Amino acid sequence: ASTILFDLSAIDLSQTICDSSCLDEFLPQTGPMRQCDRISWISEDRRNCVGIKVVRPDEFWCEHHIKGRPLFPGVLMIESCAQCASWLFRARFPALGFLGFLRCEDASFRGQVVPGDTFVILVNEIEATPRRFISNVQGVVNGKLVFEAKITGMAI
């Protein structure tokens, strides 16, 4: 069984260090494809961060992803985490061009995420060069690990 990457009890999840307009400066995804609402925390070394995605009942997938019982799609969990990992990488390397998503490994879905949930995104960058990053990512809801993977992105 996996453990949560870092102690969330030591982090004020109500804090916002980068809101939606700030994310606009770092991420190309907009509108319904923006899957991170804000960044709550970044470590001093800028290699760990926590993002927040409030799963709303009016999102584009709700009516169709399990009719009558909407579940946040796994692919959007991956996208949420990739966006946060990209933000973290850009916090250190802001001048690079477009970041492409290269790889998702060891993805594991450990619980359901439904409208009304707050999907807390944890990113731990394990390797980075000025052009490429690899991050361990997790999604947590109500203190429970619901998703984890390893994501690779690259400036292209």
Burial 42-72 (b: 16+ CB within 10 A, else e): beeeebbbbbbbebeeebebbeebeeeebeb
CB 151 within 8 A of CB 135: yes
64 annotated active-site? no
Choose the catalytic residue: 38, 65, 131, 150.
65
SS3 51: strand
Q: Which residues contact 44 (CB under 8 A, 6 or more apart)?
A: none
* Torsion sign across C-alpha atoms 142, 143, 146, 151: positive
Residue of 92, 81, 74, 93 lying closest to 36 (CA atoms): 81
**Catalytic (active-site) positions:** 65
